[in-house]
A and B are shown apart, each in its own frame.
Chain A
Amino acid sequence: MDNRKLLEIKNLVTEFRSEDDVVKAVNNISFTLNKGETIGVVGESGSGKSVTALSVMRLIPNPPGKITGGEIIFQSPSLGEIDLVGATENQMRSVRGNEIAMIFQEPMTSLNPVFTCGDQVMEALLLHQKLSKQEAKEKTIQLFKEVQLPRPEKIFDTYPHQISGGQKQRVMIAMAMSCNPSILVADEPTTALDVTVQKTILELMLQLQQTHNMGIMFITHDLGVIAELADKVIVMYKGKIVEQGPVLDIFTNPQHPYTKGLLACRPTLGKRLKWLPTVSDFLKENEDGSMQEINKSVDDVLSNLVVTANETAEKHNKLYKQEPLIKVENLKTYFPINKGMFGKAKEYVKAVDDVTFDVYPGETLGLVGESGCGKTTLGRTILKLVEPSSGQIFYKGRNITGLTPKEMREYRKDMQIIFQDPYSSLNPRITIGDAIMEPMQVHKILKNDKERKHKVIELLERVNMNESHFYRYPHEFSGGQRQRICIARSLAVNPQFIICDESVSALDVSVQAQVLNLLNELKQEFGFTYIFISHDLSVVKFMSDRMIVMNHGKIEEMGKSDEIYANPNTEYTKKLIGAIPKGELDDIKASIERKKIYRNRTANA
């Protein structure tokens, strides 16, 4: 038997039962994880990748979930070879956190808010390693050092809400690493983090893996991340593994159309594309639910879509000859913190700090920066959803900073915003139709509700939904559909200017591509002007003509997107661009080389 084998999953089936339905979230999958190996599991939400991870931990919420078939053979250091599917709860407890550890997607909510970080890490040590309290504390601080947390002694005594998201995820990693597990299951550990933080976390995980010779199961929807980290890639689609193989093979020669689609729909940084290819360019779902492949290679599809530099230049010439639609001058938005005894502010957070720029009609202005840089506040201040502290905003030459809410209302019609989270920005108790109709009623667009309903159906069809959705409620729709509903709602009042605030960040890559394409189509059709806010530089670059890089409330850099990407002027922009996992072949090869060097070094040591 191969003694490098750590975990072998054979024909695993996990089902979720509801009253009238059984969903096979994981449907007959098999793969093997070896010592010191990283398996990347890729797929969209609902593809069963998280359920696979939770099945291995036997943490499937039961009811409604249940493992109904297959084996999970784990080479346990303490229990020997064991099938985790049949293991007792006692055995599982000695495995969990000790031999198989897990890191979760949401560092913000994955730590218990009422215990200090140190306590929570120590708990696992005290449980599995039988250390004394003092020893456990020392070990915890040692672990904090290992995951490169600043001031480890201090972090030991802080509560989770007092540290940043990246730091929380480091605490989670320290917790997972505390008992030297043989397997680390990481479920989208960096999805909620900024790219620069993501980069450091990924490097840290790689480093820890090499020193401890762990097997890592890394779950993500981002192929770029996989490229940097994984040795082997598993592509999951609707509960099944559609393709698995070494990382280089998957990237150079994807076989399954779904994999091709995933590879193609990421906004690439090097080229400017007309629109993004989607999975449907490669894989068609027939009426009866069967899949039909369209045999095209990724490169073929992409090469048809490239926009030349001349075309871009011509478009820009036209754009920037016009009068600006919006002028923002010395805009400042401060939030009071640290209120004194009588609620008078002593200090301020300078969310937007002296920002000046113009937006031209018909352009898309990208706004990019890390979380907390003030990009969202800037967007909301322009719409006066947040009152500016000082500065001026001109819309079509009129200063709107001093307007009363009543005067502002007529401008609200012209200026719309599409929010980040399509799940929480629709009222769950209002039907889709009513939700879209409401702004039309407020602004008295069209004569009566009958005409409005007509228009709503038109809009729904425009965003690729249909009439039957009019009376449905938000919970019946997927994230991508909801975001399209939100877009339809913004369109209902015939706006001229739309702010997209992280509008695609919560969506899967392939859905993201569809929504981005839709936004661009609508822009062409109705001549919108966009401000496109995102933390994802590759998305911003794909969407925008010009972009603004923001940092600490100030404009770090502003210019044509392609130029900024090609020649970033400031350190910050360079760092931001450098941190994006690009998933280019050269990067994959480089990371494979790097791993080899690591491996040799640890083998020799």
Chain B
Amino acid sequence: MTIFFLRRAFYGLLVLAGVITVVFLLFNVLPGDPARMMLGQRADQASIDAINRDLGLDKPLSAQYIMYINDLMPLSLHEMQNENHYLYLDPAKYDYIKLFNISKSKVMVLKYPYLRRSYQSKRKVSEIIIETLPETAVLAFASIILAAFLGIIGGIITAIYKNTWVDHLSLFLASLGMSGPSFYIGVIISWVFGYMLSEYTGLNAIGSLYTIDDYGDGEYLDLKNLILPAVALGIRPLAVVIQLMRNSLLEVLSSDYIRTANAKGLRFRTVIFKHALKNALNPVVTALSGMFASLLAGALFVEIIFSWKGVGWELYNALVKYDLPVVMGGVLITSTAFVVINVLVDISYAILDPRVRIR
């Protein structure tokens, strides 16, 4: 089990390394001059050179790459004395603890990954992400819980009432939910429940997790703003999960060991919930986790519609303004989330199904 875990984690790291490289190369081939973007049209050559030096853009690509990786690593090697060296330990950039000196000028430090600064707001990208990621995570988590909970229950019910009107109705609704894109459904939901019916529902058409209070001197947690975006985001996964759960359960129910369980004289309830469910959940867990990861990344449309201040919202704004460090940071964070979640899923597999543990 430990070896299983370690191997999965190791593969996860390999994938991450690949992602970092691709992100780095991708944004290096994109056109645009960061210094010009930061300073505007009328900047003088000296300030542009200063910025280029600061960002390492005057160095060859390989040095930039090493610098980028070194920036991302929690454990990294830095130059202490030479301020012009591309690995110079700049207190303005890094938040670090010094570990030990390697040579006179080289030092090993433990630090937060440094994701550069926004070209626009000059804030650290990591700060922006730390601020927005929880909002997206809460939204994605709420939708996935909604989809999982209702989806699994709905799937079980439709499987039990196979080929009755309940089954047909849920199939119809599910295909409806699956075919509606989130930016369309989001707008409809926001308009109907947040605007037209807001007198009855008491919900807002737009809004974030935290709302600035009426006096403008503080923020408070506004959980009711979560409802509409979570539903808008969760409808698609819900539709998928219902169908998946139904089919998976039906397949399990026709298997030999369910016949054995019936031959033991077990109650219908026990057969369904003990013997069938655990086996049927496997594909559903995969789908859910994949969805969760993609929701983290793909909440973008829903976040824009509801003005939800999450990573997607930030990413959208950064893209519009060509704010490359923020885009790179956002992409990196979402792909990291993807990889981590997938490793966790593999492990949850091993817990659900003992046969997986062999390899």
| Interface residues contributed by chain A, number (CB under 8 Å) | 32
User: Taking the complex as formed, is A35 at the interface, i.e. its CB lies under 8 A from any CB of chain B?
Assistant: no
A101 to B267, CA, bound (A): 16
User: Taking the complex as formed, is A172 at the interface, i.e. its CB lies under 8 A from any CB of chain B?
Assistant: yes
Report yes or no: B260 in contact with A113, Cβ–Cβ below 8 A.
no
Closest to A128 in B: B265
Per-residue contact bits, chain A 108-136, to B (CB 8 Å; 1 contact, 0 not): 01111111000010011001100000000
Report yes or no: B278 in contact with A114, Cβ–Cβ below 8 A.
yes
Q: Report which of A57, A109, A112, A124 forms a contact with B275, defined as CB distance below 8 A.
A: A112
A106 to B259, CA, bound (A): 11
Report yes or no: B10 in contact with A341, Cβ–Cβ below 8 A.
yes
A85 to B6, CA, bound (A): 56
A93-B267, A341-B6, A341-B7 known; A113 vs B262 contact (CB < 8 Å): no
Report yes or no: B255 in contact with A109, Cβ–Cβ below 8 A.
yes
User: Taking the complex as formed, is B43 at the interface, i.e. its CB lies under 8 A from any CB of chain A?
Assistant: no
Report yes or no: A123 in contact with B3, Cβ–Cβ below 8 A.
no
A59-B263, A96-B262, A97-B263 known; A341 vs B255 contact (CB < 8 Å): no
A127 to B266, CA, bound (A): 7
Q: Report which of B259, B265, B267, B279 forms a contact with A114, defined as CB distance below 8 A.
A: B279
> Of B32-40, B122-130, B208-216, B347-355, which stretch is located at the interface?
B347-355
Residues of B near A96 (CB, < 8 A) are 262-265
Q: Which of B3, B7, B254, B261 has the most CB of A within 10 A?
A: B261
Closest to B261 in A: A112
User: Taking the complex as formed, is B256 at the interface, i.e. its CB lies under 8 A from any CB of chain A?
Assistant: yes
Residues of B near A339 (CB, < 8 A) are 359
Q: Report which of B265, B278, B359 forms a contact with A94, defined as CB distance below 8 A.
A: B265
Residues of B near A111 (CB, < 8 A) are 257, 260
Closest to A343 in B: B7
Report yes or no: A93 in contact with B265, Cβ–Cβ below 8 A.
yes
Report yes or no: B264 in contact with A110, Cβ–Cβ below 8 A.
no
Residues of A near B266 (CB, < 8 A) are 93, 97, 123, 127
Report yes or no: B256 in contact with A104, Cβ–Cβ below 8 A.
yes
User: Taking the complex as formed, is A95 at the interface, i.e. its CB lies under 8 A from any CB of chain B?
Assistant: yes
User: Taking the complex as formed, is A159 at the interface, i.e. its CB lies under 8 A from any CB of chain B?
Assistant: yes
User: Taking the complex as formed, is A543 at the interface, i.e. its CB lies under 8 A from any CB of chain B?
Assistant: no
A172 to B263, CA, bound (A): 11
Report yes or no: B353 in contact with A113, Cβ–Cβ below 8 A.
yes
Per-residue contact bits, chain A 51-65, to B (CB 8 Å; 1 contact, 0 not): 000000101010000
Residues of A near B255 (CB, < 8 A) are 109
In the assembled complex, the CB of A484 is this many whole angstroms from the nearest CB of chain B, namely: 28
Q: Which of B3, B265, B266, B358 has the most CB of A within 10 A?
A: B265
Per-residue contact bits, chain B 326-354, to A (CB 8 Å; 1 contact, 0 not): 00000000000000000000000000111
Q: Report which of B257, B261, B263, B279 forms a contact with A57, defined as CB distance below 8 A.
A: B263
Report yes or no: A112 in contact with B257, Cβ–Cβ below 8 A.
yes
Closest to B276 in A: A112
Q: Report which of A95, A109, A159 forms a contact with B265, defined as CB distance below 8 A.
A: A95
In the assembled complex, the CB of B161 is this many whole angstroms from the nearest CB of chain A, namely: 14
Per-residue contact bits, chain B 274-285, to A (CB 8 Å; 1 contact, 0 not): 010011000000
User: Taking the complex as formed, is A453 at the interface, i.e. its CB lies under 8 A from any CB of chain B?
Assistant: no
Residues of A near B264 (CB, < 8 A) are 96-97, 123-124, 127, 175
Report yes or no: B355 in contact with A159, Cβ–Cβ below 8 A.
yes
Per-residue contact bits, chain B 7-25, to A (CB 8 Å; 1 contact, 0 not): 1001000000000000000
User: Taking the complex as formed, is A199 at the interface, i.e. its CB lies under 8 A from any CB of chain B?
Assistant: no
In the assembled complex, the CB of B285 is this many whole angstroms from the nearest CB of chain A, namely: 13
In the assembled complex, the CB of B85 is this many whole angstroms from the nearest CB of chain A, namely: 35
Report yes or no: A104 in contact with B353, Cβ–Cβ below 8 A.
no
Report yes or no: A114 in contact with B6, Cβ–Cβ below 8 A.
no
User: Taking the complex as formed, is A98 at the interface, i.e. its CB lies under 8 A from any CB of chain B?
Assistant: yes
Residues of A near B353 (CB, < 8 A) are 113-114
Report yes or no: B263 in contact with A109, Cβ–Cβ below 8 A.
no
A242 to B262, CA, bound (A): 31
Residues of A near B352 (CB, < 8 A) are 114
Report yes or no: A59 in contact with B262, Cβ–Cβ below 8 A.
yes
A358 to B96, CA, bound (A): 72
Report yes or no: A102 in contact with B267, Cβ–Cβ below 8 A.
no
Report yes or no: A124 in contact with B265, Cβ–Cβ below 8 A.
yes
A98-B265, A172-B260 known; A114 vs B3 contact (CB < 8 Å): no
User: Taking the complex as formed, is A161 at the interface, i.e. its CB lies under 8 A from any CB of chain B?
Assistant: yes
Q: Report which of B7, B259, B265, B354 forms a contact with A127, defined as CB distance below 8 A.
A: B265
Per-residue contact bits, chain B 214-241, to A (CB 8 Å; 1 contact, 0 not): 0000000000000000000000000000
Residues of B near A102 (CB, < 8 A) are 263
Closest to A119 in B: B274
A175 to B262, CA, bound (A): 13
Residues of B near A109 (CB, < 8 A) are 255-257
A484 to B359, CA, bound (A): 38
Residues of A near B3 (CB, < 8 A) are 341
Q: Report which of B259, B265, B278, B354 forms a contact with A110, defined as CB distance below 8 A.
A: B259
Residues of A near B7 (CB, < 8 A) are 341
Q: Report which of B254, B259, B261, B355 forms a contact with A113, defined as CB distance below 8 A.
A: B355
A341 to B15, CA, bound (A): 16
Residues of B near A127 (CB, < 8 A) are 264-266
A527 to B176, CA, bound (A): 62
Per-residue contact bits, chain B 89-114, to A (CB 8 Å; 1 contact, 0 not): 00000000000000000000000000
Closest to B254 in A: A61
Closest to A116 in B: B354
In the assembled complex, the CB of A119 is this many whole angstroms from the nearest CB of chain B, namely: 10
Residues of B near A59 (CB, < 8 A) are 259, 262-263
Residues of B near A120 (CB, < 8 A) are 260
Residues of A near B263 (CB, < 8 A) are 57, 59, 96-97, 101-102, 104
In the assembled complex, the CB of B162 is this many whole angstroms from the nearest CB of chain A, namely: 10
Quick one: which of A336-364 are within 8 Å of B by CB? 339, 341
In the assembled complex, the CB of A470 is this many whole angstroms from the nearest CB of chain B, namely: 33
In the assembled complex, the CB of A420 is this many whole angstroms from the nearest CB of chain B, namely: 19
Q: Which of B6, B260, B267 has the most CB of A within 10 A?
A: B260
A168 to B114, CA, bound (A): 56
A124 to B270, CA, bound (A): 12
Closest to B354 in A: A159
Residues of A near B6 (CB, < 8 A) are 341
Closest to B263 in A: A102
A112-B257, A112-B275, A341-B3 known; A161 vs B355 contact (CB < 8 Å): yes
In the assembled complex, the CB of B38 is this many whole angstroms from the nearest CB of chain A, namely: 45
Interface residues, chain A, with chain B CB atoms under 8 Å away: 57, 59, 61, 92-98, 101-102, 104, 106, 109-115, 120, 123-124, 127-128, 159, 161, 172, 175, 339, 341
Given contacts A96-B265, A114-B279, 15 further A-B contacts (CB under 8 A): A61-B254, A93-B267, A94-B265, A97-B263, A97-B264, A104-B259, A106-B256, A114-B354, A123-B266, A124-B264, A128-B265, A159-B354, A172-B260, A175-B264, A341-B7
Interface residues, chain B, with chain A CB atoms under 8 Å away: 3, 6-7, 10, 254-257, 259-267, 275, 278-279, 352-355, 358-359
Which 10 interchain pairs have the tightest Cβ spacing?
A96-B265, A97-B264, A97-B265, A109-B256, A112-B257, A159-B354, A102-B263, A93-B265, A110-B256, A124-B264
Q: List 5 A-B contacts (CB under 8 A).
A: A96-B262, A112-B279, A123-B264, A339-B359, A341-B7
